[in-house]
Amino acid sequence: MATSTLSHERRNVATNTYFVTLIRHRSIVALSYMMTTMPSYALSSMYGNDVV
């Protein structure tokens, strides 16, 4: 009884950790994507397309 509950809790912790890292990874990827694309868009809109 106790061992099955312990393994079940451990599995839940592993699943939660996996989802948290997945969400963090996706947010980091989205942030880096925005940081790389937004300045180029801003530069092209400010100075024209010959800069980028």
pLDDT in tens, 23-46: 888 888 888 888 888 777 777 776
pLDDT-derived band at 3, boundaries 50, 70, 90:
low
Does pLDDT of 4 surpass 70?
no
Extended strands (E) in 1-52: none
Residues 44, 52: Cα–Cα separation, whole Å: 6
The count of domains in the chain is: 1
User: Which amino acid appears at position 51 of this protein?
Assistant: V
Contact of 52 with 43, CB cutoff 8 Å: yes
Domain extent for 27: 2-48
Q: What is the pLDDT of residue 1?
A: 52
Q: Look up residue 43 and give its two tokens.
A: 């530069």
Mean pLDDT of 15-19: 88
Q: Identify the residue with better confidence: 47 or 28.
A: 28
